[in-house]
Amino acid sequence: MEALDYHAEERRKAEFNLDEMKIVWAGSRRNYELSDRVARLVASDPVFRKDNRTMLTRKDLFKDTLRKAAHAWKRIIDLRLSEEEANMLRSYVDQPAFTDLHWGMFIPAIKGQGTSEQHEKWLPMAYKMQIIGCYAQTELGHGSNVQGLETTATFDPQTDEFDLHSPTLTSSKWWPGGLGKVSTHAVVYARLITGGQDHGVHGFIVQLRGLDDHLPLPGITVGDIGMKFGSGAYNSMDNGLLRFDHVRIPRNQMLMRVSQVTREGKFVQSDVPRQLVYGTMVYVRQTIVSDASCALARAVCIATRYSAVRRQFGSQNGGPEIQVIDYKTQQSRLFPLLASAYAFRFVGEWLKWLYTDVTQRLQANDFSTLPEAHACTAGLKSMTTSVTADAIEECRKLCGGHGYLSNSGLPELFAVYIPTCTYEGDNVVLLLQVARFLMKTVSQLGSGKKPVGTTAYMGRAEHLMQCRCEVEMAQDWLKPSTILEAFEARAVRMSIACAKSLGKFSNPEDGFAELSPDLVEVAIAHCQLIVVSKFLEKLQQDIPGKGVKRQLEILCNVYALHLLHKHLGDFVATGCITPNQGALANEQLRLLYAQVRPNAIALVDAFNYTDHYLGSILGCYDGNVYQKLYQEAWKDPLNDTVVPDGYLEYLRPILKQHIRTARL
């Protein structure tokens, strides 16, 4: 018998080839096939079950995480999965774990900042997980200000060792994932001191726990920092604290690609810029942008499928009520998020390319594109995670009351996702880095230095400062060059206005601090331009499949025009468009929503998420929401007994007292 599909009618309405769209979303046919196979492998394995995890105590959740990580590792070995497949498997297991930090930061830190001898020594052990590592940078007193870290690594020429020490309470390492209970090793960031001189923050490989008994080594105090936001969620991770009491490590455990300390204790700064010490953060920020599209797509998939099932009001002659997805307000809240998921996917692909390119250049000692890579990763990490965090909450609201149920999947997704706005760089702090980069670019405009890459548009500042938008009718807003010019003109005009205001301050740093809220807005305008332009560039590619390109064009226009509508004040105040042109953009946006509507379910099907990964009754593929909600309610432990525990002690006495009072 064919399974019920409550979305069958919706799926029939789609105007494009779904299989081809799945390939576009995955990046290539090969990626699609790999990811589909691995997702199904995880979904069908009972060890990876996750529907009960919000009910677990912290200890049970943590043990469950260890069990899943061990099982995942066994599957990776048994099935001889490639590194790419193994990463996919971990992400489909979908439970934050120490392995994220081991593979995502510890190994990349050694690769990026270690010498070839250090690679040879440490990487084979790390790849086999004979050692497990974390990334211990943040301290109780300092996170954003990395130069303010207090842990010291003092070189002792007598013994050829570093002495690692936590001189104050605030120097305690605080937050590193995987540190609390699991890691045997860490890359620790500490101030390097030689001959009484402070050379700033560098990375050191430090063993924390015994490899036989897992006990902390002498001089090391280590533990978990405690429960975090929400139930389940990020509490599967052992974010830790760490203190050193004069712990000794050999000199060759300082990561020495950027700077070296010789046997005599001489500090040698190589030609490599010191910012490469921050390289692991740049790498992870880039991955976070792709992850943002996944998390956003997940929330949007749940809200879209549920909005097609849910009906409220408007029944005619006893017929069905209106599907809430047909309300224009629902569409205007949901479809820009759907478009953003696609937009972030494509900008994530591009950022990966940029990162690979800069890495290859760095290997050839070409550091010229490092500032741009830093600005793009910092800005896009900040923008995409802020939008995604807000969007998950919006999707919860789009699902009405049922969105607040844990089994909608949205509360846990939100709780897991929101720290992304803080870790790997607080989002405001990162936008200020972008603003610095932009102000520097503007200040060099007159010098003959031509801006390149994502700031190339500033080279056309003269034109962009005075160009006039030519839109006369709503449909004029569908022209890619019109959209692009409006976004470029807005970004350049806001940048130059801020640069002029900065010029009025005698001390530039005072000006930067005073104008920082405006500078954040400038950085956002620049980042939005990058996302819009990369979406438009994607559309220049050959995209096969009936109707696929057309749908992407619609989504690209939705993405750009909803931003224009949301930031209308910026566009009008800078004179890039008139208020009437803003109104025409909004008119066009409404027409676009009507074009998205019949394709909405298929557009979220294209994410190819299994029900296991989605973890949401509201978002289940077959749309059989009510029956599943009803069945699930009976599985709650509170329903194990008809009369709740505590009735005799606490409820009955009150009820009886009430009866007595009533009788009086």
Ligand X SMILES: CC/C=C\C/C=C\C/C=C\C/C=C\C/C=C\C/C=C\CC/C=C/C(=O)SCCNC(=O)CCNC(=O)[C@H](O)C(C)(C)COP(=O)(O)OP(=O)(O)OC[C@H]1O[C@@H](n2cnc3c(N)ncnc32)[C@H](O)[C@@H]1OP(=O)(O)O
Ligand Y SMILES: Cc1cc2nc3c(=O)[nH]c(=O)nc-3n(C[C@H](O)[C@H](O)[C@H](O)COP(=O)(O)OP(=O)(O)OC[C@H]3O[C@@H](n4cnc5c(N)ncnc54)[C@H](O)[C@@H]3O)c2cc1C
Catalytic residue annotation:
424
Separation between Cα atoms, residue 103 and residue 445, nearest integer Å: 41
Residue 75 partner contact from ligand X, ligand Y, none using kind-dependent CB cut-offs of 5 to 8 Å: none
Residue 498 CA to residue 340 CA, distance in Å, equals: 28
Contact positions with ligand X (CB under 6 A) in 11-70: none
By CB under 6 A, is residue 25 in contact with ligand Y?
no
The nearer residue to ligand Y, 115 or 516, going by C-beta atoms, is: 516
Q: Which of 55, 272, 429, 539 binds ligand X (CB under 6 A)?
A: 429
| 374 near ligand X, rule: CB under 6 A | yes
Select from 3, 2, 16 the least CA-distant residue to 605: 16
Give me the least distance between CB of 404 and ligand X, in Å please.
17
Q: Alpha-carbon distance 373 to 368, whole Å?
A: 10
**What are the beta bridge partners of residue 221?**
243
The residues that bridge with 430 in the sheet, in sequence order, are none
- If DSSP codes are grouped into helix, strand and coil, which group holds residue 414? helix
Q: Are 276 and 113 in contact (CB under 8 A)?
A: yes
Q: Does 412 bind ligand X (CB under 6 A)?
A: yes
Tell whether the torsion through CA atoms of 579, 585, 588 and 593 is positive or negative: negative
Out of 429, 497, 568, 572, name the contact with ligand Y by CB under 6 A: 429
Place of tokens 């699902």: 399
The conformation of residue 217, written as its DSSP 8-state character, comes to: P
Of 149, 233, 351, 362, which lies in the binding site for ligand X, with binding defined by CB under 6 A? Answer: 233
The region that residue 31 occupies, defined by phi over 0 for left and psi between -120 and 50 for alpha, beta otherwise, is: alpha
Residue with tokens 């211990």: 136
Q: Among candidates 53, 388, 423, which has minimal Cα distance to 235? A: 53
Residue (142 or 248) nearer to ligand Y, CB: 142
The answer to whether residue 194 forms part of the interface with ligand X (CB under 6 A) is no
Q: Which does 428 bind (CB under 5 to 8 A by kind): ligand Y, ligand X, none?
A: ligand Y
104 binds ligand X, rule: CB under 6 A: yes
Query: CA separation (Å) from 409 to 51, 91, 395, 416?
Result: 9, 16, 11, 11
Residues forming a β-bridge with 201:
191
Q: In the set 436, 460, 550, 628, which binds ligand X (CB under 6 A)? A: 436
Of 39-47, 134-142, 403-411, 584-592, the segment contacting ligand Y by CB under 6 A is: 134-142
Is 177 annotated as a binding-site member?
yes
Stretch that binds ligand X, among 8-16, 141-149, 302-310, 349-357 (CB under 6 A): 141-149
The correct pick among 275, 312, 541, 627 for binding ligand X (CB under 6 A) is 275
Name the 3-class secondary structure at 207: strand
Supply the minimum distance, in Å, between the C-beta of residue 287 and ligand X. Answer: 6
95 lines the binding site for ligand X (CB under 6 A)? yes
CA–CA separation, 122 and 107 (whole Å): 9
Point out which span in 361-369, 420-428, 573-581, 611-619 binds ligand Y (CB under 6 A). 420-428
100 binds ligand X (CB under 6 A): yes
CB of 254 to ligand Y, least distance (A): 18
Q: How many residues bind ligand Y (CB under 6 A)?
A: 22
User: Whole-number minimum distance, CB 658 to ligand X, in Å?
Assistant: 42
Buried b / exposed e along 579-603 (16+ C-beta atoms within 10 A): eebbebbbebbeebbebbbebbbbb
Tell me how far, at minimum, the Cβ of 4 lies from ligand Y, in Å: 40
Report if residue 94 touches ligand X, rule: CB under 6 A: yes
Q: For residue 528, what are its two tokens?
A: 């939005």
Nearer to ligand Y, 435 or 602 (CB): 435
What b/e string do you get for 37-57 counting C-beta neighbours within 10 Å, with b at 16 or more? ebbebbbebeebebeebbebe
574 binds, among ligand Y, ligand X, none (CB under 5 to 8 A by kind): none
From the list 132-140, 438-446, 539-547, 653-661, the region that binds ligand Y by CB under 6 A is 132-140
Question: Rounded to 5 degrees, what angle do the CA atoms 356, 357, 360 make?
Answer: 85
Of residues 170 through 209, those in contact with ligand Y by CB under 6 A are 175-177
Q: Is 213 exposed, middle or buried (0-12, 13-18, 19+ CB in 10 A)?
A: exposed
- Cα 542 from chain centre: 28
Q: Cα–Cα–Cα angle for 53, 56, 59, nearest 5°?
A: 120
Which of 108, 114, 133, 143 binds ligand Y (CB under 6 A)? It is 143
Binding site for ligand Y (CB under 6 A): 101, 135-138, 142-144, 175-177, 234, 239, 419, 422-423, 425-426, 428-429, 432, 516
Binding site for ligand X (CB under 6 A): 94-96, 100, 104, 135, 137-138, 143-147, 177, 232-233, 275, 278, 281-282, 284, 287-288, 291, 295, 370-371, 374, 412-413, 416-417, 420, 423-425, 429, 433, 436, 440
Return binding residues for FAD.
138, 177
